[in-house]
Structure 1
Amino acid sequence: MMPPSILGHLSFQFRTPDKAPFPAGTHPLNLSLGIEGERDTILVVPEGLDTDKPVKLLVMFHGAGGSAEKVMPFFRDWAEKEKFLLMVPQSTYITWDLTVGGNGPDLEKLEKGLEEVASRYNIDKNHFGFCGFSDGASYSLSIGLSNGEIVSHVIALSGGFMNLYVPRGKPLVFIAHSPEDEQLPMKTSGLHHYNELKKEGYDVEFLEFHGLHLIHPPVVEKAMEFFINRSPGRPQ
């Protein structure tokens, strides 16, 4: 039998926190696998977060050649306004390992990051989302749908592929793509994934927008409204 990680399955489980929450601000999680040049995972904690109740968590995956610093400006204000935790992993290599050779250190660091956050916060099971742009959207779709028994929302902004060995659960899905995308054609990527997931019975929304292969703030707004306002209604 193959190890669960080969299939993109996380062993992460929700738990009761046993560490103090971080103060408001931006925090490196100090995760290391001992790989040369690896970058840390960043956690944004909004001012005024109520830790006496379950807190929303959004995990944002950057695009190829990207970084936490490139994507956080599009999502940080939403985290501050809507009071959710924003966790931003960074790929070990130029892009996510699933894109170039299969699950490996990126999934391992994602696991460690989630465990660290869950040790400090009671995570809202109805608002535990994966989001990504470009290669990060492909990663969000692939890993999010592989772990849909725990991930409540999967958001893909201008993603390319969807690599599912053994999908689990039925998270809510939001896909956005532009017909003017000069890197990843909408018909064979975003729209194709939407149609395939609809056939499989997923609750999936598709947003067609106009523009080049970039993160567009109006699209982020629609995605964040989806994450904040939609809920699968899972028991806490």
Structure 2
Amino acid sequence: MQARSAGVTTNDPSRLRARPNAKPGGELSAGLRPLGRSPRRDGLLYVPAGYRPDRPAPLVVLLHGAGGSAHHGIALLRELADAAGLLLLAPDSRHSSWDIISDDAYGPDVAFLDGALEQLFGSAAVDPARIAIGGFSDGASYALSLGLTNGDLFTHVIAFSPGFMAPAEQRGRPRIFISHGAQDQVLRIDPCSRRLAPLIRVAGYDLRYQEFEGPHAVPPEIARDALRWFLPEAG
């Protein structure tokens, strides 16, 4: 009988209940696969080469931008995942963007992600001390919002060019990485990251803030910097 992870008991729609399982019961082979949770908008899981069930792996949940998909989300770090031994989970939003953005309320995207995490925790050995949520653009805004709300699950938050944050409340003290292009014409840096960074620091979070000369994008070197920040041992 497969043991279930010890999760959070609450009806709060902003809360993720799934938690890593000390004794996961499944077997995973390396590679990219669909989550298999929805026939229309689903998501992807990437298991790195060399994954071992007896060695809990770090995990990053990756969130795409508005109008994107799990393929866009997972592309942020996929090329770096094998070398770092990193599990990547990239859900699709239920609609064109994330619920707090499109519906002004938490709900279906939190529930879908919670189910995907419960499924993953039931089959994969995940290190509870190294769980990050990250994303780009609207996905970065949602990562900040959901990550601070669920800081008792996520140890790190990675936000590439966020526009805002709207946590339901603050739990835990996840470490935060924000990057933003100084020439961004989609989400301009002054009203976005340059406004958010001081608020995050005043709230007592450990923040790594990085600006770069460029547009609304995630340059490869920024993705590498974020991964080195999350996993210093990966080099």
* TM-score (norm. length: structure 1): 0.90
- Residue 14 of structure 1 aligns to which amino acid in structure 2? P
- The residue that corresponds to 2:93 in the other structure is 91
- The residue that corresponds to 1:125 in the other structure is 128
In the alignment, the residues of structure 2 paired with residue 196 and residue 18 of structure 1 have an alpha-carbon distance, to the nearest angstrom, of 39
Identity %: 35
SS at match of 2:123: coil
In the alignment, the residues of structure 2 paired with residue 139 and residue 59 of structure 1 have an alpha-carbon distance, to the nearest angstrom, of 11
| Residue 73 (str. 1) matches residue 75 (str. 2) | yes
- The residue that corresponds to 2:201 in the other structure is 198
Give, in angstroms, the shift of residue 29 of structure 1: 1.7
Equivalent of 1:109 in 107, 112, 135: 112
In the alignment, the residues of structure 2 paired with residue 4 and residue 74 of structure 1 have an alpha-carbon distance, to the nearest angstrom, of 30
Q: Deviations over 1:83-111 (max 9, x none)?
A: 11011111111111111111121111100
The answer to whether the 8 A contact 1:38-1:93 is kept is no
| Residue 143 (str. 1) matches residue 146 (str. 2) | yes
Give, in angstroms, the shift of residue 80 of structure 1: 1.1
SS at match of 2:147: helix
Equivalent of 2:30 in 9, 16, 24: 24
Mapping 1:44-55, distance limit 5 Å: 44-55=46-57
The answer to whether the 8 A contact 1:158-1:213 is kept is yes
Give, in angstroms, the shift of residue 63 of structure 1: 0.4
* TM-score (norm. length: structure 2): 0.90
| Residue 14 (str. 1) matches residue 33 (str. 2) | no
- The residue that corresponds to 1:217 in the other structure is 220
- The residue that corresponds to 1:4 in the other structure is 12
Unaligned runs of 5+ in 2: 1-9
Give, in angstroms, the shift of residue 129 of structure 1: 0.3
C-alpha change, 1:13 and 1:71, in structure 2 (3 Å) is closer
Give the number of aligned pairs: 223
The answer to which of 73-82 and 124-133 deviates more is 73-82
Q: Deviations over 1:151-202 (max 9, x none)?
A: 0010100010100221101000000012211011212211211110100110
C-alpha change, 1:165 and 1:18, in structure 2 (3 Å) is closer
Root-mean-square deviation (Å): 1.6
- Residue 196 of structure 1 aligns to which amino acid in structure 2? L
In the alignment, the residues of structure 2 paired with residue 198 and residue 74 of structure 1 have an alpha-carbon distance, to the nearest angstrom, of 25
Give, in angstroms, the shift of residue 14 of structure 1: 2.5
Unaligned runs of 5+ in 1: 231-236
- The residue that corresponds to 1:189 in the other structure is 192
Give, in angstroms, the shift of residue 139 of structure 1: 0.6
The answer to whether the 8 A contact 2:28-2:124 is kept is no
SS at match of 1:119: helix
In the alignment, the residues of structure 2 paired with residue 150 and residue 104 of structure 1 have an alpha-carbon distance, to the nearest angstrom, of 18
Q: Deviations over 1:125-160 (max 9, x none)?
A: 121000100000001000001011110010100010
